[in-house]
Amino acid sequence: MKPYYTYLLLVSLVLLNACKKENESLQIAENENHKHWSYEGETSPEHWIEIERNSDCGGKRQSPINIIDIKTIAVDSAKTLKVSYSPETILNKVENNGHSVQFDFNEGDSINYKGETFHLKQIHFHEPSEHNINGVKYPIEIHLVHQSNSKKLSVISILCIEGEESQLFEFFESYLPIEINEFKEINKVVNLSDLFPKEQSFYSYNGSLTTPPCTEGVNWIVYKEPIIISLEEVLKLKKNMPLNNYRNEQELNERKVYYNY
């Protein structure tokens, strides 16, 4: 090879290597500057809009909200929600994702809401509750996340108060403790119908996910009547989740909240 071409090849290799190192440095800096959301400090819910800039967290139809009875619209439409849960639902696994304790299920259980079917994907917990009823916060809020074939989301919220022991909660908590970023395979049958309150009336509104990316367009179904779990069950769940893993109350922004009886 002629000296001239050898020189050009060497220069090209040096420049290519320099560009590669610069890109790696930029990538490292970008990763260091992007903080992951949490429930405390500089990455708490008050800062999600700043650190999750490509999300819906700054939108006008966000969740959770404070539901005030006298401001809801009462409609005779509780029958628009049909819960089709099998007594032989397969609980697939439990995981601690660092934000909550989450139980995942095999496909089978579903709800039909306003004529559309949504399949149960997972349930997780918040302590204390994210939704308030007439300004009151509850010790625990359970979210049952459902998704349609067209990827739309409907979330059922069940609030908990302290009292007697719940056998279903005892079953869930038998797989705790679980460390952050760990999961346990379960593959056992569970009857989730025992999780629902006896009184079937509920509030409904259009909102969002309560964690980033805070995706809007979520159907929220919040049961009015809470279920009862024991103080010990609350405390055990609390030990396996971040302290106060709830998002602040969001503005209603002229949205309508319905009381379905």
Instruction: Please state whether 73 falls in left (phi above 0), alpha (psi between -120 and 50) or beta.
Output: beta
Catalytic residue IDs: 99
Beta strand segments in the chain, E: 66-67, 73-75, 81-84, 89-96, 101-105, 110-113, 116-126, 132-133, 140-147, 153-162, 183-190, 202-208, 216-223, 227-229, 258-260
DSSP H helical ranges for the chain: 3-33, 48-51, 167-173, 231-239
Question: How many other CB atoms sit within 10 Å of the CB of residue 112?
Answer: 14
Question: How many other CB atoms sit within 10 Å of the CB of residue 191?
Answer: 14
Cα–Cα distance measured from residue 25 to residue 30, given in angstroms and rounded to the nearest whole number:
9
With a CB cutoff of 8 Å and minimum separation 6, the contacts of 21 are none
Q: Residue 181's Cα: distance from chain center in Å? A: 16
Write b or e for each residue in 211-239: b if 16 or more Cβ atoms lie within 10 A of its Cβ, otherwise e: bbebebebbbbbbbebbebbeebbebbbe
The two structure tokens encoding residue 81: 């929600």
